[in-house]
Amino acid sequence: MKVGVTGHPGVGKTTLVKRVLAAVPLKAGGMITEEIRKCGYRVGFLLRDVATGKEGLLAHRHHCTGPEFGKYRICLQDLEEIGAAAIERAVVEAELIVIDEVGPMELQSPRFISAVEKALASQKHLLVTVHRASNHHLAYRIRHEVDQLIRLTKSNRDEKIREVIRLLSP
pLDDT grade, residue 170 (50/70/90)? confident
- For residues 50-81, one letter each, b for 16 or more C-beta atoms within 10 angstroms of the residue's C-beta and e for the rest, the string is bbeebebbbbbeeebebeeeeebbbbbebbbe
Q: How far apart are CA 27 and CA 82, in angstroms?
A: 18
Mean pLDDT for the chain?
95
Q: How far apart are CA 154 and CA 168, in angstroms?
A: 22
Task: Tell me which CATH code domain 2-168 carries.
Answer: 3.40.50.300
Q: CA nearest 51: which of 16, 83, 5? A: 83
The structure's pTM equals 0.95
Span 44-61, mean pLDDT? 97
Q: What is the pLDDT of residue 133?
A: 87
The model's pLDDT over 131-165, given as tens digits with 9 standing for 90+, comes to 988 889 999 999 999 999 999 999 999 999 999 99
